[in-house]
């Protein structure tokens, strides 16, 4: 089979790595890919927003399945366009992708499906003062979210009216998120442990992959600005078998049923961002695709045929036995450009990438590029240093990952020093 993956990040490199292992995979392409994906697939320099060019390439390369990694092509309707032209696609329709692109829509789905989530209200630019007053009424801290897509950076936790006002000024007046900030959501702050769960579905049946935990903040101890994610580990012990069944029955099944009933069936990967409160699991957010960097730790934990899983979802007949959890633990540390998530420099040569021959060490590229035969930095999040421990010893995986990242060099490299420590804490608490 000939497979095309849309995207250029660490998530897409991980998807390519997992798909490449399938005996069904003959030719693998990434559009546009990055400096690392060119080592296992062929990068195609086409802008995914040009749907006609994407379709033309699919026809020329006789593509059997398109896997769309990022949210923007899904929200822009690329999956609909390709399906209309008889191309199989793993990923939801434009309307179903609103579960991520329109937070107010997602909240409405949750209300109708009786899915537990935070109390909230939505406000537009003309309701600036109403938003401030609502924040006062529900008590601090509160969470302010840009309603549309913001690359993981549109969420602020505010501890006072002054902080809410500052965020509203940035979104509504300085327009830092553009159209994505035309509306905002203000919701109560929920306390508890967070986790990410991927539900792979054909719109009716679904399976859940091992639960992961992301590290969103830029600084150690979960301090500083939100980012796209500075590292992750999986599985997380906070999601017991009993809790997973509760999540399936009270969250995932009702949401899929509600979306199907309203005429927007969701096929693909439903990302469930959850928090475990004193009253049980609640939804923080849904995304319409695999999470990044959680994908980089979940996929190494799967045995079986990952391509078959995606293909069966895309064809509407989910093979629930295509993959199984292999019993291990995995951790990934993001090597970023210093200054991210704000301004940073790029174009620096990366050294040390070829030092590791252990099959349990996987370096997924994200913001990298090939230039004059060298791999250079080309983004904020540059590399994902991933280690799999087949014996499920998370601590050993963490130690090895830091040993690896200490041997990789590029100017202005930055990474958190505490990735995975939450997972060790949970294990200690349960011992």
Q: What is the pLDDT of residues 361-378, one digit of tens each?
A: 999 999 999 999 899 999
Chain mean pLDDT for the chain = 95
pLDDT attached to residue 429: 63
Answer yes or no: do 160 and 213 share one domain: no
In a domain, 193, yes or no: no
Please choose, from the candidates 152, 185, 153, the residue with its C-alpha nearest in 3D space to the C-alpha of residue 168. 185
Tell me: do 300 and 343 sit in the same domain.
no
Residue 124: inside a domain, yes or no? yes
Q: Are 75 and 94 in contact (CB under 8 A)?
A: yes
pLDDT band at residue 163, thresholds of 50, 70 and 90?
very high
What residues pair up with 234 in beta bridges, in sequence order? 330
CA-wise closest residue to 381 among 268, 261, 292: 292
Can you give the CATH number for the domain in which 140 is found? 3.30.1490.20
- pLDDT of the residue at 430: 55
Same domain, yes or no: 413 and 355: yes
Distance CA(54)–CA(77), nearest Å, equals: 13
Contacts of 238 (CB under 8 A, 6+ apart): 193, 195, 211, 213, 276, 426
45 has a pLDDT exceeding 80: yes
Give me the residues paired with residue 233 across strands. 213, 331
What CATH number does residue 51 fall under?
3.40.50.20
What does DSSP say about strands 65-68 and 89-90: parallel, antiparallel, or unpaired?
Answer: parallel
Strand partners, 215: none
Is pTM beyond 0.85 here? yes
In a domain, residue 373? The reply is: yes
Residue 154 in this model has a pLDDT that exceeds 90: no
Domain of residue 248, residue span: 201-323
CATH of the domain at 352: 3.90.600.10
DSSP-derived 3-state class of residue 316: coil
Residue 247 lies in a domain: yes
Among 2-6, 19-23, 117-121, whose mean pLDDT is lowest? 117-121
pLDDT digits (tens, 9 = 90+) for 241-298: 999 999 999 999 999 999 999 999 999 999 999 999 999 999 999 999 999 999 999 9
Note whether 253 and 339 are same-domain residues: no
What CATH number corresponds to the domain at position 249? 3.30.470.20
Q: What is the pLDDT of residue 22?
A: 98
For residue 6, is pLDDT > 60?
Answer: yes
Residue 275 zone, left/alpha/beta (φ > 0; ψ -120 to 50; rest): beta
pLDDT category of residue 149 using cuts at 50, 70 and 90: confident
**Other residues' Cβ atoms within 10 Å of the Cβ of residue 161:** 14
pLDDT at 431: 46
- Do 205 and 311 sit in the same domain of this protein? yes
The DSSP annotation for 230-280 comes to SEEEE--TTS-HHHHHHHIIIIIHHHHHHHHHTT----EEEEEEEEEETTE
Within this chain, do residues 175 and 206 fall inside the same structural domain, yes or no?
no
Q: Count CA atoms within 13 Å of residue 155 on its CB side.
A: 17
Give a yes or no: residue 411 inside a domain. yes
Q: Residue 426's pLDDT is what?
A: 82
Instruction: Name residue, tokens 């202005």.
Output: 412
Q: Where among 288, 323, 358 does a domain terminate?
A: 323
CB 145 within 8 A of CB 103: yes
Provide the Cα torsion 45, 47, 48, 51; round to 10°: -110
In a domain, 166, yes or no: yes
Report yes or no on 114 lying in a domain: no
Alpha helices in 89-240 (DSSP H): 98-101, 103-113, 128-138, 161-168
Residue at a domain's end among 95, 129, 162 = 95
Cα separation of 264 and 96, whole Å? 5
Closest-CA residue to 205 (of 260, 271, 283, 242): 260
**Residue 158 forms part of a structural domain:** yes
Residues 314 and 338 in one domain: no
Q: Are residues 227 and 282 in the same domain?
A: yes
209 and 309 inside one domain: yes
User: What's the DSSP call for residue 48?
Assistant: T
Looking at residue 151, what is its pLDDT?
Answer: 72
Q: For the ranges 58-62, 165-169, 330-334, which has the lowest average pLDDT?
A: 165-169
Q: Please tell me whether residues 258 and 303 are part of one structural domain.
A: yes
What value does the mean pLDDT take over residues 373-392? 96
> Does 42 share its domain with 72?
yes
Instruction: Kindly state whether residues 70 and 147 are assigned to the same domain.
Output: no
Asked if residue 17 lies in contact with residue 364, where contact means CB atoms within 8 angstroms, the answer is: yes
- Number of folded domains in the chain? 4
Q: Among residues 188, 212, 232, which one ends one of the domains?
A: 188
Distance (Å, whole) CA 277 – CA 27: 46
């Amino acid at each position: 089979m000939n497979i095309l993956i849309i995207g250029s990040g660490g998530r897409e490199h991980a998807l390519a790595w997992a798909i490449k292992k399938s005996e069904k995979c003959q030719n693998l392409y990434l559009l546009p890919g990055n400096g690392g994906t060119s080592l296992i697939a062929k990068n195609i320099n086409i802008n995914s927003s040009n749907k006609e060019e994407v379709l033309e390439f699919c026809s020329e390369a006789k593509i059997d399945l398109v896997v769309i990694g990022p949210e923007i092509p899904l929200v822009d309707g690329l999956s609909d366009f390709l399906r209309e032209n008889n191309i199989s696609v793993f990923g939801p329709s434009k309307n179903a992708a609103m579960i991520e692109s329109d937070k107010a829509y997602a909240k409405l789905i949750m209300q109708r499906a009786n899915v537990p989530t935070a109390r909230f209200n939505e406000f537009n630019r003309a309701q600036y003062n109403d938003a401030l007053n609502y924040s006062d009424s529900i008590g601090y801290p509160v969470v302010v979210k840009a309603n549309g897509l913001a690359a993981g950076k549109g969420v602020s936790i505010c501890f006072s009216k002054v902080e809410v006002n500052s965020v509203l000024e940035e979104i509504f007046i300085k327009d830092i998120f553009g159209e994505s900030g035309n509306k905002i959501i203000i919701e109560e702050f929920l306390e508890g442990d967070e986790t990410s769960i991927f539900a792979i579905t054909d719109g009716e049946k679904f399976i859940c992959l091992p639960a992961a935990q992301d590290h969103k903040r830029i600084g150690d101890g979960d301090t500083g600005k939100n980012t796209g994610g500075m590292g992750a580990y999986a599985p997380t012990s906070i999601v017991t078998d009993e809790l997973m069944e509760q999540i399936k029955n009270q969250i995932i099944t009702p949401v899929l049923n509600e979306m199907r009933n309203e005429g927007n069936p969701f096929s693909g990967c439903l990302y469930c961002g959850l928090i475990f409160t004193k009253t049980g699991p609640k939804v923080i957010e849904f995304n319409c695709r695999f999470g990044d960097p959680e994908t980089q730790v979940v996929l190494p934990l799967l045995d079986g045929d990952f391509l078959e899983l995606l293909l069966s979802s895309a064809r509407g007949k989910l093979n629930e036995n295509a993959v199984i959890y292999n019993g291990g633990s995995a951790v990934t540390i993001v090597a970023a450009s210093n200054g991210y998530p704000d301004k940073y420099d790029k174009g620096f040569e990366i050294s040390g990438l070829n030092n590791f021959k252990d099959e349990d060490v996987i370096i997924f590229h994200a913001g990298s590029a090939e230039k004059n035969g060298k791999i250079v930095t080309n983004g904020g999040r540059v590399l994902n240093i991933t280690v799999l421990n087949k014996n499920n010893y998370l601590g050993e995986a963490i130690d090895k990952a830091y040993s690896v990242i200490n041997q990789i060099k590029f100017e202005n490299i930055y990474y958190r020093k505490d990735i995975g420590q939450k997972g060790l804490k949970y294990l200690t608490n349960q011992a």
